[in-house]
Amino acid sequence: MTAQPIRLLGDPVLRSRATEVVDFDKEFHGLVRDMWDTMEATGGAGLAAPQIGVDLRVFTYHCDGHAGHLVNPVVEVLGEGYQDGPEGCLSIPGVSVDCRRHLEVVATGWNMYGEPIEVTGDHLLARCVQHEVDHLDGVLYVDRLEPRARELALRAAGGER
């Protein structure tokens, strides 16, 4: 499998809602493996398909002692707690800003073979799942910041082209 180039802030693919996966075939398995290789090669905690230019609802993750992938994820918030903490993104290199996220979530979806799976996480894993699902919806973490913090983060990143 092969690591792929990361799409950066300003690329339109990062601003569109990704398409549901319907074909769980060998080509799709190869995509998930390429995503894993890309995530590992770049040192990311997660990677969504749009970050490598692919318009599909799938992400990989390797954070907080948990690793895997999730296809067509649906996230449900557990409890009312929130966490504020540093967040970065492979598509916005060199910028890390505190971002508010739900403290605990459960995500349901499928694995690359079309089998149902569920990922429940809190703290860092919950942050990672929410961040990656945002990517699948065309949302970047900087969009969740207060206006002034967003402006500073975008300026530090060189702006959105």
The answer to whether residue 91 is domain-embedded is yes
Judge whether 132 counts as a catalytic residue.
yes
User: Does 1 map to a domain?
Assistant: no
Beta bridge partners of 85: 99
In the chain, % of residues over pLDDT 70: 99
Q: Model-level pTM?
A: 0.94
Apex 53 CA angle, 52 and 55, nearest 5: 120
Position 34 in a domain: yes
* Residue 135 marked in a binding site: yes
Of 101, 20, 10, the C-alpha closest to 54 is 20
In a domain, 161, yes or no: no
Domain contains 152: yes
Is residue 123 part of an annotated ligand binding site? no
**How many distinct structural domains can be found in the chain?**
1
Set 76, 87, 132, 160: catalytic member: 132
Q: Quick one: pLDDT band at residue 72, thresholds 50, 70, 90?
A: very high
Is 2 part of any domain?
no
Q: Mean pLDDT across the chain, nearest whole number?
A: 95
Q: Which domain holds residue 68?
A: 12-156
- CATH assignment at residue 86: 3.90.45.10
